[in-house]
């Protein structure tokens, strides 16, 4: 056993409660993840949320959907967010995609303070930086599935007009939807719409993919295929944040966060044998290094 492996093993069942919040952070020593050989550097924060709160106006006064979120997601990470319905998962996604603004706090994505972007800049910036799979798909009903997938390409002009259709079909193939390219969203099932939404999210080959319950409407075989696609995207260097109700799916993701009542209440990092060395650089940021169990031998 290599030195770092024994160190990770020592971390095994420990959990850390940091002094400032009730977040419980655990490091789990697990075997190789399904993603296999993967060496994200984890040196560069891709998404930083600092002191994020969000209050919605309601007749009964403000409703605090997020109560203070501090979160760093590094380039090349695959992170799952779990939590009961109403815990604030979609609200959290809306914060760093710039779809909605926090009441307090700062959002930095790919080194940009997103509050500095005008609405117009935001749309193009988002289109290039992020592929978003919305919980309720948000496909345009008047466009075919292929046209829906081409839409982000038309908005951002990353790909030449002549290559957009072929790229759309290629992406639809990856989610098993090539046969549905010419159909309209209303003519296909929820699961098929979800797959089309995943293809659309990949349209501009964005470095960040954000998916809100991307497997919520899929049978387990298709869900596995989508998860495998996400793993291959992470292996190719993308940063993925996936909201899911599915604890089993979350347990396959290297890092998962649990939201409850607008706070991150639990965080689990599963160190695969392969991913461990680069993660070690990152762990001190995650746990309290003065905690005896975390002393590097």
**Residue numbers of the site for Mg ion (CB under 5 A)?**
89-90
- For ligand ADP, the closer of residues 102 and 152 by Cβ is 102
Sign of the four-CA dihedral 250, 253, 256, 261: negative
Give the separation between CA 23 and CA 134, rounded to whole angstroms.
27
- For ligand ADP, the closer of residues 137 and 294 by Cβ is 137
CB of 44 to ligand ADP, least distance (A): 27
Q: Which residues in this chain contact ligand ADP in the complex, by CB under 6 A?
A: 56, 58, 63, 65, 83, 85-91
Inter-residue contact 226 to 249 (CB < 8 Å): no
255-260/78-82 β-pairing: parallel
Give the separation between CA 239 and CA 255, rounded to whole angstroms.
12
Query: Which option in Mg ion, ligand ADP, none does residue 58 bind, with CB closer than 5 to 8 A by kind?
Result: ligand ADP
- Quickly tell me which residue has 């930095």 as its tokens: 108
Give the separation between CA 106 and CA 89, rounded to whole angstroms.
17
Query: Which option in ligand ADP, Mg ion, none does residue 83 bind, with CB closer than 5 to 8 A by kind?
Result: ligand ADP
For residue 148, what are its two tokens? 């829906």
CB of 96 to Mg ion, least distance (A): 15
**Dihedrals phi, psi of 18, to nearest 5 degrees:** -75, 155
- For ligand ADP, the closer of residues 91 and 193 by Cβ is 91
Query: Which option in Mg ion, ligand ADP, none does residue 247 bind, with CB closer than 5 to 8 A by kind?
Result: none
CB of 147 to Mg ion, least distance (A): 27
CB of 133 to Mg ion, least distance (A): 12
């Amino acid at each position: 056993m290599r030195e770092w492996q024994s160190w990770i093993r020592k971390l095994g069942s420990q959990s850390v409660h940091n002094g400032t919040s009730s977040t419980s952070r655990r490091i789990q020593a697990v075997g190789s993840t399904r993603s296999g050989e993967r060496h994200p550097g984890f040196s560069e924060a891709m998404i930083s949320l600092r002191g994020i709160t969000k209050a919605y106006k309601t007749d009964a006064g403000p409703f605090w959907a997020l109560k203070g979120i501090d979160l760093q997601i590094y380039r090349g990470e695959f992170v799952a967010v779990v939590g009961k319905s109403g815990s604030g998962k979609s609200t959290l996604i809306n914060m760093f995609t710039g779809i909605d603004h926090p009441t307090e706090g700062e959002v930095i994505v790919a080194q940009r303070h997103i509050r500095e972007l005008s609405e117009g800049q935001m749309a193009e910036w988002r289109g290039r930086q992020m592929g978003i799979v919305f919980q309720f798909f948000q496909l345009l009903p008047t466009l075919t599935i292929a046209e829906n997938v081409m839409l982000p390409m038309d908005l951002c002009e990353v790909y030449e007009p002549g290559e957009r259709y072929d790229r759309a079909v290629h992406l639809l193939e990856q989610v098993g939807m090539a046969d549905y390219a010419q159909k309209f969203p209303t003519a296909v099932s929820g699961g098929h719409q979800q797959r089309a939404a995943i293809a659309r999210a990949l349209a501009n080959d964005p470095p960040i993919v954000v998916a809100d319950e991307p497997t919520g409407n899929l049978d387990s075989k298709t869900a596995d295929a989508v998860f495998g696609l996400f793993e291959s995207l992470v292996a190719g260097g993308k940063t993925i944040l996936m909201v899911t109700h599915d604890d089993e799916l979350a347990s396959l993701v290297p890092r998962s966060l649990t939201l409850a009542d607008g706070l991150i209440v639990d965080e689990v990092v599963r160190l695969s044998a392969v991913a461990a060395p680069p993660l070690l650089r990152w762990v001190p940021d995650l746990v309290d290094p003065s905690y005896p169990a975390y002393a590097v031998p």
